[in-house]
Structure 1
Amino acid sequence: MKTILLAALVSTLPALAAAAERPAGLAAAEALARAALGPECTMNDMAEVPMAGPDDDGFGHFFHRFTYRAARQSADEPEIEAELYQLFCVAGAYNVRHAFVLKTSDEEGLRLLAFARPELDYAYADEEMTTLKAPPGVKGFGAALQLVNSRFDERTLTVTSVGAWRGLGDAWDSGTWTFRDGGFVLTRFEVDPTYDGSPADGARGHVVYDAAE
């Protein structure tokens, strides 16, 4: 698993190399996210959030364009054009959160996306929470309107997220969502809930959901 954890964030945003041009629909996407998420998406109270380039970390907004064919379409219909706004919502001590807003050529308006997430079931074997009684399981599913330390891969049309549960990064979770027929579907989720000081390299992670299985 390729893990990207932010060890620390400075209080001011750094200069973003090769910042992208601000897309025409950005203001509407920001307004939707702010209205829906309220204090959970303050955008760090910035008057204007900078655009980030493809190689930048999570500071700032990202904008992605791609096309796809919906299951309902016939072979002679043109592909649907999609605009994906990955909107910076808030930066904490070691995590950055983004919301995702989608605009497609076959729909009016914008959609704030929700990402399925498993509700985890586990118990610790010690008071220090360094070991588990048994491997973690899934007791249900919920949905998240923001993802932590997320990336979008335009080649595979997948979003990945890696969340550090504390600054050391020894406890974490990681998800992968794949774009299918107009939305993102959870395809893999992995977690290490132990605060044992081990490096966050995925070696100790437990895969609790894998669509390939």
Structure 2
Amino acid sequence: MKMTTVLLFGAAAAVPAAAQTAPPSPPAATTPAIDPHREQLGLELAQLLNTREDVIKQMTGATYAAALKQRLLGVPDFAKLESEHPGLSDFVIARVQPVLADGMSNQLPDLWQRLGKVYSRRLNEGELTQALAFFRSPLGLKTRASINGQLAAASAGPVGRGDEFTQNNVLKVLGDAGVRAMGNFTPAERAELMRVSQSPMGIKMQAANVEGAGVMADWGKEPHPDLQQAVNAAMTSAVTEFLQ
């Protein structure tokens, strides 16, 4: 049920990076200990690129609702109920979306920790500081907003289908969002994005995001019984209320 955002560094460089199909190079067999301050910077970067607000916006948006409806109507018994009681699916989804958003929000700290470790391992302290500075700058804020907006429009991707949560699937969604977001930038902004993305820090960020897509895929496939129970309860309550 999970799809959240891992921003590919620089919209201009996101396209070729996201097109990769080969897995990222594995970390060394013996990874040296990371300085705590560097780990903290990696965590801050993961939190900055995957905000609670953006996740909730995607999970409660109309596009995600359409994806959920498609999944629900793919269940024969529910499709039969919908044909007998038009409007049931929309009513159920309106009740389920907030539950999903709340559950996803509660699980974000775990994703932040995992992605933070990727960033802190692949970038040194100076590069992490540079990345944070860029994504907090006016152009960085615009880049994040543009790609997050496109991701929200693309949320009709994997919904409750663990077999579709693969590294390549996540990369494709991100790459497509990067392509669409390019239209929001001026030529000068695109040139600056390309310049920064081709810097040593930008190149390492691209590699980190490829690995991060694999982290997201694993995170998205993990079972969460409490959330599933809450979703099932919301669905049952909504169906009962609608049919009364």
> Which of the five TM-score ranges fits, normalised by the shorter chain?
under 0.3
TM-score under structure 2 length normalisation:
0.24
Which structure has the larger Rg over C-alpha atoms? Answer: 2
Higher helix share: 2
TM-score under structure 1 length normalisation:
0.26
